[in-house]
Amino acid sequence: MAPKTVFLAFAEQDELYRDLFTTQWARSGDQARFLDSPAGTACPDEWKKDVRERIRGCDGVIALIGGATPDSPVARWQIRCAVAEGKPLMGLWVEKKYRGKPTEMGPARCESWTWENIGDFLDRL
């Protein structure tokens, strides 16, 4: 079976959490591929088109949810796009003290950042 491909949605201010997530995952040796937003796209419409194509090509979406998420039009749009494309979606709280859930996620669950929760999500894809 081919490794799962998962899009990571996150607020621009949470790029450090994205880096930490992908670095730790790479060290785990588990098979999964993570994509995120293309960098440096000047035109917002082109960026949205690129993100939508990436999300369409993924098996699911993990949203890294932190205190910056509610004020991030980028993260909120990525989550709305995942829902619109019908992709399985899970939120991961990246901050111990923040447990909010963006309304854009609809019925999708938010979980604590544990490798067990991530593995369970990947197994369901």
Indicate the pTM of the whole model.
0.92
C-alpha 18: how far from chain center: 9
Type and span of the H or E element at 8: strand 4-10
In total, how many domains does the chain have? 1
Range of the domain at 110: 4-36+44-124
- Is residue 1 scored above 70 in pLDDT? no
- Amino acid 88: pLDDT: 98
What CATH number does residue 111 fall under?
A: 3.40.50.450
Task: Give me the mean pLDDT over the 62-86 stretch.
Answer: 96
- Amino acid 47: pLDDT: 86
What per-residue string of b and e applies to 74-99 under the rule 16 or more CB within 10 Å gives b? bbbbbbbbbbeeebbbbbbbbbeeee
